[in-house]
Amino acid sequence: MLHGKRILLIISGGIAAYKSLELVRRLRERGAAVRCVVTRGGAQFITPLSLAALSEDKVYTELFSLTDEAEMGHIQLSRDADLLLVAPATADLLAKMTHGQADDLASTVLLATDKDVMVAPAMNMRMWEHPATQDNLRTLQARGVRVVGPEEGDMACGEYGLGRLAEPDDIAAAVSDFFQTSAPLSGRHALVTSGPTHEPIDPVRYIANRSSGRQGHAIAAALARRGATTTLVSGPTNLPDPPGVNVVRVESARDILAACEAALPVDVAICAAAVADWRVARAANEKLKKNGGGPPKLEMAENPDILASLAAPANTRPGLVIGFAAETELVIENARAKREHKGCDWILANDVSPKTGTFGGEENTIHLVSAEGVEDWPRMSKTAVANRLADRVAEMQEILE
């Protein structure tokens, strides 16, 4: 059930830490690879050696460890994982997670991750019931952190109440459920275009635009996280390759089209690239010189429209074709017209006039225009837009067929 999944198990310091040995076994029985991080407190209750033996992997304990950082930086620890599981999660570690404190390896990994996180709290019942802990938990849940347990029962401190770590079997089952529901696009193929294009003028100059590629890259990452086999065709950007995505790096509009055609067939195509509408008809083979004849006259030619070409009726037309409409006025009207004449299913319209800071910025305000009407989304980060879009795509299973 967990074959191929990599779990980073973070063990913080509570008496329940002894159950994490059992948890490693349960997760591995289900097919997961488990790598452990133990806090100083955790290591008071359980030895890294026994964890290393059961996980058959190195156990990580120190933030400032020269060998660990050389072999496996704390960023890499989370990059290599599909899920971060904190079990047991103490009240202290939950508080650190809530407030973004990063003063040891476990809390630093948890702050530096963009992966899904699940926590299995374990603590004294009064600590659990304290409004501080409950507030922290609500904040973490609102950020998408999943919570399993705690359970009611006898506690090590001699009291009875809510605060016991969930049973290892139940935690392993929650992890399996998480992967089942979090990969609604598994078996699907997705294609995303992203970034600006560079259209050559001569060997050293080009025409470009201010697109950062953030939105397209975030969409590819969100689709891949939901299990889709994802190809990202990207113009030149400074962004790292999103994890688990097959990235094809290209320069011009014509390159993007060729790379997209090579990626077909796919179930869903999302065109987020800011493709140049025109290119220089005949780019010079040698650098243009200013030799007294005045500025060069650049004759322009129209570029292929990748979105329209993917959306055109054909055997290879993806079930769902989605484009963006970057507008500076009459946003919805223009987006509706764009959807019609490009033949795509959905247009995500956004206002890119300079006052909005959208182009090249961190946030976006989207209006999803489809045959059914217009959905106005609140202003949100480009990552949140990507997640919402990927969730909407996953709802369209019958169209993706």
Q: How far is the CB of 282 from ligand CTP (least distance, A)?
A: 19
Phi-psi region of 195 (alpha: psi -120 to 50; beta: other; left: phi over 0): left
Q: Return the structure tokens found at 367.
A: 């209006």
Q: Identify which of residues 109 and 325 has a Cβ nearer to ligand CTP in the complex.
A: 325
Taken as a whole, the chain contains a residue count of: 401
Per CB under 6 A, does 235 bind ligand CTP? no
Q: What letter represents residue 121's amino acid?
A: P
Residue choice 219, 325, 368, 386 for contact with ligand CTP (CB under 6 A): 325
Work out whether strand 33-38 and strand 160-164 pair parallel, antiparallel, or are unpaired.
unpaired
Helices (H), 88-154: 91-99, 105-111, 125-129, 131-142
State the burial class of residue 70 (Cβ atoms within 10 Å of its Cβ: 0-12, 13-18, 19+).
exposed
Q: How far apart are CA 369 and CA 339, in angstroms?
A: 8
Q: How far apart are CA 175 and CA 56, in angstroms?
A: 20
Phi-psi region of 158 (alpha: psi -120 to 50; beta: other; left: phi over 0): left
Q: How far is the CB of 225 from ligand CTP (least distance, A)?
A: 22
Per CB under 6 A, does 233 bind ligand CTP? no
Q: Identify which of residues 172 and 326 has a Cβ nearer to ligand CTP in the complex.
A: 326
Q: Identify which of residues 123 and 260 has a Cβ nearer to ligand CTP in the complex.
A: 260
Q: How far is the CB of 341 from ligand CTP (least distance, A)?
A: 9
Per CB under 6 A, does 323 bind ligand CTP? yes
CB 11 within 8 A of CB 42: yes
- Closest by CA position to 173, among listed 148, 152, 153, 150: 148
Q: How far is the CB of 235 from ligand CTP (least distance, A)?
A: 10
Q: How far is the CB of 141 from ligand CTP (least distance, A)?
A: 34
Q: Return the structure tokens found at 43.
A: 């290591």
Q: Which stretch binds ligand CTP (CB under 6 A): 106-114, 139-147, 298-306, 388-396?
A: 298-306
CB 87 within 8 A of CB 23: yes
Per CB under 6 A, does 253 bind ligand CTP? yes
CB 27 within 8 A of CB 172: yes
Residue choice 273, 311, 331, 368 for contact with ligand CTP (CB under 6 A): 273
Per CB under 6 A, does 275 bind ligand CTP? yes
Residue choice 114, 152, 169, 277 for contact with ligand CTP (CB under 6 A): 277
Q: What letter represents residue 81's amino acid?
A: A
Q: Which of 36, 157, 260, 344 is catalytic?
A: 157
CB 325 within 8 A of CB 342: no
Residue choice 84, 85, 307, 366 for contact with ligand CTP (CB under 6 A): 307
Total binding residues for ligand CTP by CB under 6 A? 16
Residue choice 303, 358, 383, 387 for contact with ligand CTP (CB under 6 A): 303
157 is catalytic: yes
Q: Return the structure tokens found at 102.
A: 């990063």
Per CB under 6 A, does 269 bind ligand CTP? no
Q: How far is the CB of 218 from ligand CTP (least distance, A)?
A: 15
Residues that bind ligand CTP (CB under 6 A): 193, 253, 271-273, 275, 277, 303, 305-307, 323-326, 338
**Residues catalogued as catalytic:** 157
